Structure 1
Amino acid sequence: MSRQAFMRGGLCVLLLGGLALSSLAHAASTYTFGLLFTNAPCSGGWSKSGNTFTCSGQMTLGSGDALATSILIFGNITVVANEGFTLDSNTIGTPTKTIALVSDVGAIEVVGTGSTFSASVSSTDGAISMTNATVAGSVKTTNGALTLVGGTIAGVAQAGGAITATGAAVTGNLTSHSGAITLTGGSVGGNALAAGVITATDSTVTGNLTSSAAAITLVRGSVWGDVNAAAAITITDSCIGGSVQASGAITLTRTTVGNNVQAGGAITATDSCIAGTVMAGGATTITGGCSSSPVQSSCKATPPTTPLDHFAFSYAGAALTCNPQPITISACSSCRLQPLRRSSQY
């Protein structure tokens, strides 16, 4: 064999070997927590007390890795990483063997195309940042900030610092104990409460929207409850089901309010519809009304003129916990039920 041919052959072997090592390095792994030990990665050492496993350092999982509990362990477990977690498109536990994640001083960072958490995620002093995460429990950081991009939180979301949520769905309350809240898209199934400024754009809040010490700005939003602020409130192109109350001024533009509007300062309403009374500590300027409000028809549906007979639920396919599907609920007055594909009627 010539030297040139030998070198080409050696190069091929090196390339193939490199590809094999690369494949092994990126292969997803499942790490199991057993009765006495775990093979999960930890930059420090592991200790165990009851059903709580503690890593003295940081846990970093590769893309697609999973954490599981041995069948020999009865009940659910908690995994603590004192210096935080770095996760990437991981599966943490199962619905029948849940794993809660807890960090002490370190941050929790979740990236990738989608991680699934079977229980709550919490940190004492570290920030939490989650992208495209589905969490079956709550997400809480006592002293840090919280950032949510996409994903779904089945419980509450709380932070000692600021909260930034973009396109995320939080089923419970969203609370910042000492910081601001910035919402862009997405929804909050409970109340949204912050000590700082609240800025919400293209967002839906099922409960109340409250800033205990600062101002609120709402643009193209929907709040089913009340909007309360210790400072000024500015609402544009939005639907408010309850009242709007501010210690400062209130400015409404093309907005519908289902109850009262009360301000310690001035009230300015332009092309807005206010169902209740208007009370201002300063000047009141109202231009236009319900007839000129472009959002009035979309905020309030026309009351039915005939008795309700049943509700019809219509949806495109079978929904799963991690694969939600849109559903249309129709209030029907006729008792003649028409068969609908993949629909249920009650």
Structure 2
Amino acid sequence: MDLLTSPLHDRHVALGATLAPFGGWSMPISYPGGTVAEHTAVREDVGVFDVSHLGKLALHGPGAAGYVNACLTADLGRISPGQAQYTLCCADDGGVVDDLIAYLVGPDELLLVPNAANAAEVAKLLAAAAPAGVTVTDRHTELAVLAVQGPRSRAVLDAAIDGLAELDYMAFTDAGEVRVCRTGYTGEHGYELLVPAADAGRVWDAVVAAGARPCGLGARDTLRTEMGYPLHGQDLSRDITPVQAGSGWAVGWDKPAFWGREALVAERAAGPARRLRGLLATGRGVPRPHMDVRSSGVDVGTTTSGTFSPTLRTGIALALIDTASGVELGDTVVVDVRGRELACEVVRPPFVPSHVR
């Protein structure tokens, strides 16, 4: 199957980006200079990511927000129009179909931003159960998404976008045709821009001209792992529930209905059989996904994400640890890195301080 390309594809090619398939799209993984330099730019200055592969689903119709609130986990009643919310689309057994951002425009209008690989499935599920008058429109290729992240992100946007209002965390506003939201997946002060595809090049050029360093998905992964943010398909999945992944904060437990509620309430009450923990390497080596975790010679879990932390200059990982193992925060475990034991401390993410608020 042919890969989809971002409206910014030609710019990535011109910049010498390394491109690779991701969620059915050809996306930049890094640019000349490398992932560590891009990661550091976001932590210390400002970077811009093309994340146009993310899905975009528009819902319209009487009571659209109430309908979505009865489907997805987080409680939309806790936010107001002009705010966004991290939420989950779960299956009946509590497994996670996808994690996504919901933009609440009003009681009859929302924009959902799921992951690229799951966008069609989320759209299918919502459309199948939608009440009369509520429509689900796939705008996946109509809109580009740029993430401007880092301590200087506001200064860059002030130079690139006229008349941008101050925004609280998880609030959004429309600046002409550009929807600007104070969100991101890096742990830094940042913004995500939803831009009509035809205008994406102009906005990208303005952001880069204002000083943002182009960054690829490699740096996005190291940044989100340092924060302990889950990646669907690794740390959240059809087989990994939000209770196991420590994402229960994204569940409106008091809501009367959402997909998977019965299974998740039961699992929460009983206690999960495994929990997602952070692992901080105390020896030399880098843990990667799908590596065995052991304590006192016994297998107690497996890594779900793992990388070298450019900020800490050591290996870090997220891992599902069996609760029956007795392994606690502060304990030492070992990760089997290609036949060599790497000692790690069990910690609670984030691995580095968050600056999102």
- 1 or 2, which has the higher strand percentage? 1
- 1 or 2, which has the higher helix percentage? 2
TM-score between the two structures when normalised by the length of structure 2:
0.22
TM-score between the two structures when normalised by the length of structure 1:
0.23
Which structure's CA Rg is the greater one? 1
